[in-house]
A = this chain, B = another copy of it.
Amino acid sequence: MITKKSKYAIKALIYLTKQEKSKPVLIEEISTEEKIPKKFLEAILLELRKAGILGSKKGKGGGYYLLKPATEINMAEVMRLFDGAIALVPCVAHKYYEPCEECIDEITCPIREVFRVIREQTVATLKDNTFDELLLKEKKLKRYRK
């Protein structure tokens, strides 16, 4: 399962994607609109800023805003930031590779093969979903509901 941090981060980024670009949005506003505990959200937005995804401005008229266009931020990037590896076993992780401690022979491990495929599928899907794509999806879903 994904952590709440990741889910909150994705929601906050969707919210920011909807705004007029470069206009800073208050933590407070995102917190109430998206129902994310404010203090927790603070930490999340800070991490997104340190990762170069968001920019911030202090003082009156301050807040957070997207640094990159929404076409260049995807779900894989965000999830890796907050949850670490996307892979289900460390030995097939890309950015966070580690041998499985209890593994006897990585090269001939059939479990590894399966999880390698799953990781590739998952990462591909997450990368396809940039934040503008997510907005598009939401619009489509809202049309269908009517």
Chain A residues at the B interface, C-beta cutoff of 8 Å = 1-2, 4, 7-8, 10-11, 14, 34-36, 75, 85, 87-90, 100, 102, 104, 107-111, 113-115, 117-118, 121-122, 125-126, 129, 134-135, 137-138, 141-142, 145
The interface residues of chain B lying within 8 Å CB-to-CB of A113 are 137, 141
The complex is assembled from copies of this chain, and their number is 2
CA distance A109 to B89 in the complex (A): 28
CA distance A39 to B35 in the complex (A): 44
Q: Is A102 a contact partner of B7 (Cβ separation < 8 A)?
A: yes
Given contacts A7-B102, A107-B141, A145-B107, contact A1 B114 (CB under 8 A): no
Residue of B nearest to A85 (CB): B1
